[in-house]
Amino acid sequence: MFTDKRSKRVVFVAHCVLNQNAKIDRCAHYPGAMRELTDFLIDSGAGIVQMPCPELIHLGLDRRTDRTLPTTVESEDDRVAGLMREDAASTLCDRLAEEIVHQVRQYRENGFEVAGILGINGSPTCGVETNWRDGEEAAGAGVFIRTLCRRLQDEGFAVPARGVKASRPEEAISAATQILKSRQQTGPPGSVHR
């Protein structure tokens, strides 16, 4: 099965890797996709799976900004980080993570390699090595990536995750290279690979 030209290799990426239009105001570094990283992934032959943006789904494109108040990127990151730690946001992140785990399971059961996850460092939601908390970039994963990685681990799936920043394209390509080099055994089609 699946004997056509597909690579049978996929990378899951944070929503804003392919769509900077979903970012909070003043945080987009590209008009659309993160060009260098996206071109690199396309050239690698891996399929690119765009994960949903929990912030956009839960808070909307404007992240419920009060337009009558002066804001900074930092104050908005603080506000969004707080909102994404609330119970309703956590429930949403859990549901979205379960949907991604289902996709990972489908790929693995059909002999595909899930090369890894690329999140957005500094994001309160999609950060991998760093998130936003208490007015600064802090060590640790954002609420969505933390939930996703925990659910993957609970299912026995070893899926490497790395964080990137749109403002640092060379480092983003380096992170993607590391993900793609960490090939995992896929075994015969139809077997579950955990």
In a domain, 190, yes or no: no
- Beta pairing, strands 130-133 & 47-50: unpaired
In a domain, 193, yes or no: no
Separation of alpha carbons 105 and 71, rounded Å: 42
**pLDDT for the residue numbered 186:** 38
**pLDDT for the residue numbered 194:** 42
In a domain, 92, yes or no: yes
- For the chain, 194 residues long, give each residue's pLDDT as a single digit of tens: 888 999 999 999 999 999 999 999 889 999 999 999 999 999 999 999 999 999 999 999 999 988 888 888 899 999 999 999 999 999 999 999 999 999 999 999 999 999 999 999 999 999 999 999 989 999 999 999 999 999 999 999 999 999 999 999 999 999 999 999 976 433 333 333 44
DSSP for 74-108 reads: HHHHHHHHHHHTSHHHHHHHHHHHHHHHHHHHHHH
In a domain, 188, yes or no: no
* pTM score above 0.75: yes
The owner of tokens 């996929």 is: 10
**pLDDT for the residue numbered 161:** 97
**pLDDT for the residue numbered 131:** 96
In a domain, 194, yes or no: no
In a domain, 189, yes or no: no
The distance from CA 79 to its chain's CA centroid, rounded to whole angstroms, is 20
Domain total in the chain: 1
Containing structural domain, residue 49: 9-181
**pLDDT for the residue numbered 7:** 95
In a domain, 1, yes or no: no
**pLDDT for the residue numbered 2:** 87
**pLDDT for the residue numbered 120:** 98
Half-sphere exposure of 191 (CA within 13 A, CB side): 8
In a domain, 2, yes or no: no
Distances (CA, A) of 41 to 29, 49, 90, 92: 18, 11, 30, 28
**pLDDT for the residue numbered 184:** 47
Distances (CA, A) of 31 to 7, 20, 95, 154, 174: 29, 7, 30, 37, 22
**pLDDT for the residue numbered 69:** 86
